[in-house]
Structure 1
Amino acid sequence: MLERIMNLDFLPRKVLLLVVLMASFEVLAASGITYQGRLISPDGTPVASSSVQFKIQIRTPGTEDCLLYEELQTLDLSTSQGVFALSLGDGTGTRQDSNSWNLFDSLSNRKGFTFAAADCTVGTTYTPSASDNRKFRVYFNDGSFAGWESLPVQTINFIPMSIESYAVGGFPASSLLRVQDGGTLGTPSALTTAQYNEIVALVGGTSSLYEKAGQLGGSSIPALTSGQTVVSDGSGGWTASTPLTSESDPNVSAFAKASLPTCGVGEVLKADGTSLSCVTDTSGSVVGSALADTNIWVGNGSNQAAAVSVSGDATLANDGTLTLATSGVTAGTHTKVTVDAKGRVTVGASLVESDIPTLSTAGKVSGDAITSGTIAGSTAVNTSGSITTSGNISGAAISSTSLSTRQIDLYDSDNTNKISFVTPATGDLTSDYSLMFPTSLGSANQILGMDSTGAFLENKSITAGSGVSISHSAGGIQISATGSGGTVTSVSGTAPISVATGTSTPVISIADTAVTPGSYGSATQVATFTVDQKGRLTAAGNTTISGVSPVGSSLADTNIWVGNGSGQAAAVAVSGDATLSNAGAVSVTKIRGTSVNSSAPTLSGQVLKYDGTTEYAAGFINVA
């Protein structure tokens, strides 16, 4: 905390006298830098402008005087007696500089900075030392003058605790292991115990993951001279060895020990007994064990074994399974097929009538082989079984000793319309019966009907009796009565029905009963009636039921009867700002929708007051 008093008379403007009572620089991780003070006018009164602008800058400490950070803030001092508090870097101000770093980077001495030329008094770079401070500059304008007035430049120094933060456990940053990429510190994950132990083993020379200098497989590598190689000594170590430059085996011919000729692609070495030469291999290539999945070795046009995959009409799996290519025909049974030159079925279909040639030889198709179609010509069909068809059977004459069917159709000459003779549905007939038609055609206006014995049909004529006429037309038969209509001559009645005039125009009435006309029954009464054997009310009245509520005695716990908008009693629960117990006690739980604390006042002078957030509660009234 830095406290000082300054009297500043800004003579060039003759505007304000600034008295800074307290300047506090508080650098916090969450809130930034806080600067506090008070503005006093030259006449001694506090500045009371509602819009005072402050421009706050952090600059480098040297002669380069570069702008590290700048914010613009506007404060309302109309009610603060000139007292102000500026929080730099907390998001309330508007940043004015174009630098890429943040507020806390501008206070850090870890790295150097590069600026635009306009942001520095001298030069464009600044490399801080570990103990460098920063210059803090504040400008203000209360709106009563143009431009900015500057306060004296102040210095941001490090407190002892921040000096201690230069080191970790007494070790400076340069003595610590850190991860840095392009000048930016990284944030890798912490080392595991196994990783730490491996680093210790590596430093101590006992790591099993890496070789020491001058060792291979844990054993020292011997010194080598030109042309030597390292070979195992057979006991876990290494020894220097000079490769043979000539063959000493007496079984190898002398010409084979000389320098070998250089062969081209596809050539092999050939010995003629005195020398070696390169010749083209004409006996085939040597095939190795490597072969691509599902490939096979096949001799090509150059008489060389070549790896190819099986294709065309078949494919080969790597387990030796040969699969023929599909021909496009759906698997299954087909009555008509098309075969290509390779014997494959390329088309499968069903037989149509045109696929079957005409059969003229008897006996070629018989029995169950005939299932559908038309048999024409003069050939007779002889069978001892049944002929079943869903189509038509036509011929010059069809005879049968027994014809079993529910319907017989008789078509007109062009086979477009028909007359159907249909028997009743299955199960409707109780016994067999026969319809025997007349032996001759009936005459005009006769109808078919059973004879008097019910044995056969006969032609019947309809005759008219006395007072009845019959007329036949194309649409039907009309039967009419020719006599005059009847007349009611006498009407009588039995009590309570009475007839005033018993002639052809009677007046019929029902006698009144002793029941008084009107409505019976109410919310508190039940209607009673007496009815005689003829359904008449002979007596009516009301019976009052005492001791029962008009709306019934059943009512849910704590509910009450309340008239609703339809003028009917309805059971409802008391809600809103009060509750009701089933003993009739009313408790106020809210005031205009705001809860009331359930605890009663306990001290004298307490009142029920609103806590400003959620409820009314007992408390005292405070007088400022």
Structure 2
Amino acid sequence: MVTLRYVLFIVLPITVALFDSLALASPQSLSYQGRILKSDGSPLEYNNVSFLFEITSADGSCVLYREQKDGVNMQSSNGVFDVPIGTGTRLYPTAPVFELSEVFVNGKSHSCYGSGSWSASNTSERQLKVQFHDGNGWKVISPANIIRSVPFAYTSFSAQKIADKTVNDLLLKTAAPATTCLSGEVLSWNGAQFVCVTDAGGSGVISDIIAGTGISVSGTTTKTINLANTSVAAGSYGSATQVPTFTVDAQGRLTTASSVTITGVSPGGSAGGDLLGSYPNPTVAKLAGKNLAVTSPSGGQFLKYDGSEWENASLSSADLTDAGSLLKSSQMPATCAVNQTLTFVSPTGAWTCSNIGLNWSQITAGKPTTLIGYGITDKVINNAGTDAGTDITSLQSGLNSSKPAAGVAGRIYISTDTKEIYRDNGSTWIRVATESGTSTATLTGVTAGTGLSGGGTSGNVTLNLANTSVTAGSYGSSTQVPTFTVDAQGRLSSASQVTISGVAPGGTAGGDLSGSFPNPTVAKIQSTNVSATGPSIVGQTLRYQSSQWTPAFLNMADIRSTITPFGGVFAATACGADQSMYYESSSDTFKCQNITLAASQITSGQIASARLPASANYWQDGGSGKIVYSGGAISAAGLIESTSGGFKFPDGSTLTSANGISAAGSAFIGAARTVATANCSWGLDSTTFATLNTANANCALPTLEGSALVPSEGKIPAVRFANLKAGRYLVYAYGAFYSNTGSCFFRITDGTQTSEATNTHSATTDRTSLIVGEFNYTADQPTITYKIEIRRWTGSGSCNISNAVDYGAGQTFKMSLYRVEKPAEASDNLGNHVATNNLVLGNHYLSGDGSNSGIGITASGNVGVGTNAPVTTLDARGEVRIGNTGASCSGAIEGATRYNSTSKKLEFCDGSTWRPVTSTTRRTVCTYDNAAYSTQVNGQNLINWGAGHCDNGYPSSGCVGYLSKAVACGSDSDWAALGPNETPYNGGVAVGANGGISWSMATPCNGVWVRAVYECSN
């Protein structure tokens, strides 16, 4: 490889002969000379050397000029070259007409190659960067050279100008008048030559002001310039429910404006201010902050303020006085003359007669058109104004030469021969109009103010509204809100539009998009079509071909040298099978090199058996305790251990811990819990089962757990789920279910199925805290909502769920969903191993025997048992077995499920107690209340349920009972304050399925109240 030992180069002055006259049309060029020696000291004598020249800014960051000179023959040159810059192939700038000298002009902004610009000061220098190609690769001559000025190099070129002005920009002195202008005169072009004329104002003569676009002009001698009114009505547009729409002209003015109600969006939320209720149907409750107390208004009444609020009432005579008393006859005069009117005197509170007197400006009709009969004695103004002291300034006419001497300001003189009108300004006569209607009032200059363009000091002066940066057009629509900035003159200085938050865009997409909003498709990229066929294989890129962007793989032909055009960037010969291609930045060339890989560089692929180390006896085709190197499942007798990282699955997901995966699984799906707030309750009065659908604004939105969702109706006692899989579920509703009077039934419904009804009574002595319902689905449910149905059985009034809670502190209502099935248990056949990376399964299973049956995991984290395409977080295709446990139920494991091998029942933890989950066919609630019952001390207190104690039959041996409430030695008030299983006595209690309940006491007392709930399978 040839390396540059050193380069001796001389940059000579710009060839002056080529710039002595632009008329010669010779190409501009700079001489660049030097000598190139190889590293061994021998000269470069290649017959086809290429040179690349770049002229850049002083810091080298902005390329101003780029040229490539090919085919330089340096044979027998002893390494010496002389290459003119400016005669090769110009690569930049690409404009068809360009002069090299423009690169060296200072005091202007230059465009840079690629993008951006560079501002050259009056003393900025330039750099020259050079590369040459010796047949083997490009070599860079470093460092770059500073191009400095050569004396008089550009004199012949710049002498054709004065500064930056050409001959056509200059006015010769001979064009001026031969005689010197007098003081106060100015040069004026009369169409043929410059002449001296009088400067009426000392700064030029403006003959008239012409109104431009958006400008109005009024006045004769004194011109008033105003922004012209548009057709837009002044006012405010747009609101929280309306979109302002408007049209803007090129001057940034609104030409039309209106408000459009946002399509499809009704105002919502609670009303405020003077309004009450909720949008979109609020009620006016106040006027200007004062309450309205309107009760059945009748005809002729008014709203009258009583000092604290507005009320509807009829007006009385007391409302016509200043002191609020009745209107009395003593307040009125006996009579008034025809030229008098009634006048109210507030100090005396009485009416009096006053003479009518009006000045001329107050008379709007019936004014005199002649002087006869009106007693007018003022003199008519004489023509010459001879009556000093009574006459005003005169209006005279005559020959122009007969004008009287000026000196009385305001006089008007009409010249009958020249047909002109003059005004005396106190010192001279000023012509104010001519026969043609042209006024030559002395306006010395019109300057365009803020927002205006134009103006001048002579001739017809035109003012226009200056264009703003706003694009003329219409802004705003039914789905977009225009936003704009207004300056002090009321013009739009910026305008755009923003999609209304919360409202999805609609309509047909355009531009680079196709389809319809809100789900358009990118059909183009900067107006170039994108292929409708999407990428199909990883690694494809969008490639421009056949006039569109198409998914394709990159090939070698797509790799370009950074220096174009040049085709010698690839290796001269093809690389071998044991070689790879690499890029050498110093030569900007791709070359071949032998492939050598360290073991750490082999990160994927399958190693053939012949490549395995002989000492690695754990690598083999099969066998117990070995890892296979062939394709398929991994079989190992012990544990596969990952010490760090975890397991990575084919979809890219990882598993770093198995703490959340157990054989028992979890039956909890989700829950919605409403925290108690003031006045939060729900009620319904219906003699047939009806769903409670009405939201209570006093209630807070529910707190969600698991995959639960807020009901569509909002603040109601319910819970909603989406994508619920087929199976068997249990729903638990906790709260205070009671009747105002009589008895009520409560049950859970999903709109099709219902739970067993629970009977409850008053809010204090017999209210229910828990309702359980079982629901079975043979197909997946896209969305489902569990609600409460209510039926009044006896008495009158509503059945309620209130914040007199029986479940936990501070909770009004909670509804939880559990799935009865559990995932199948899977054995561990990986051995005792610690994972260091993720285990990637792809579409395969974790299997006990290597078959396509076991545990599958998707990229989204869904785990399947018996399927490799689970559609839920845990998807078990088959029966699920849950074992027994001795764990205590607490808030830490709330929602856990277990199997009680003693009672043979499935149980769940509600946060404090294990509750049975059974295929209940009957539930009965038994209550015993006896204020005179004498309890025993450390004895056996036994109550056998009798007629009327239970609401759904006696409990039998097929029933499982638990204590819902127990109070001894207490009163009703004590019972109402207790929560589930709270017992204020010092003793024990047992609930049996043999038809009774027993307990013992530490101290004797009278009075007992107990309630037990039985879940029965018969």
Q: Shared topology, TM-score over 0.5?
A: no
Higher strand share: 2
TM-score band, normalised by the shorter chain? under 0.3
Q: TM-score, normalised by structure 2?
A: 0.18
Q: TM-score, normalised by structure 1?
A: 0.28
